[in-house]
Amino acid sequence: MRSPESPVLSISGLIKDVGPLASLDGKMLRVVNGVSLMAERGQVTALLGANGAGKTTTIECAQGLQKRSGGSISLLGQDPGRSGADLRSRVGVMLQDGGLPPSARPIPLLRHIAGMYARPRPVDELVQRLGIDTFARTSVRRLSGGQKQRLALAAALIGNPEVLFLDEPSAGLDPQSRQLVFELISELRAGGMGIILTTHLMDDAQRLADYVYIIDAGRNVAEGTVSQLLQRDPAVEAGTDHIRTLVFEA
């Protein structure tokens, strides 16, 4: 594992159990089993794996949205499971389902969110940058999947975060929207933001990520740059045949 001097996110031996489940005769199910990773400022760190691999659960524990069962997490030097509003104000989160109120319209919603922060980004700047002005009068419930994703990204950025979590950021995006979002992510990285994203698409990781952790069945199975993983670099430790399957079938 790489060892940056001051990571924005450090996870060590993360465990998450859910249950008890009737389908398992009342037993607990371990959905994350020992995941460890680090993310740096000015870089995009990707968690790559199939749906159900444990990627979303991992980043929700990292954000403090889910309580971990074991292991340790440091987000901007704090434990997200115990921190308060100060840490939340420094972190932007775009959930896979958007989490947006269905009756709201985009611009009033963004202005409302901006009012919660001391130094928000200009709403008009994000509206223009992400093309939100083209559907500004439409309620969230009537937006397409790609439009909701663009609005959710704007909402995650409005507070000027130091760290940005993106859960499947290209889900539902048409090619034009995908290009807009990817260009913005690259600009944010160049500006020094630490970005952690999940994806099941190798192309997303290849386009965006500086460093990739492959997650399968709740475990790390490989890590490295995209080129290392695609070349089956000897420095990448762990089950290379399985890595190849994960990489090329994603």
Which pLDDT tens digit goes with each residue over 150-178? 999 999 999 999 999 999 998 888 888 89
Strand (E) or helix (H) holding 111: helix 106-114
Query: 115 lies in which domain range?
Result: 40-64+82-249
Q: β-pairing, 219-224 with 211-216?
A: antiparallel
* Domain assignment of residue 4, yes or no: no
* Domain assignment of residue 104, yes or no: yes
pLDDT digits 0-9 by tens, 53-84: 999 999 999 999 999 999 999 999 999 988 88
- What's the structural domain count of the chain? 1
pLDDT band (50, 70, 90) for residue 20: confident
CATH number of the CATH domain containing 144: 3.40.50.300
Residues constituting the chain: 250
* Domain assignment of residue 128, yes or no: yes
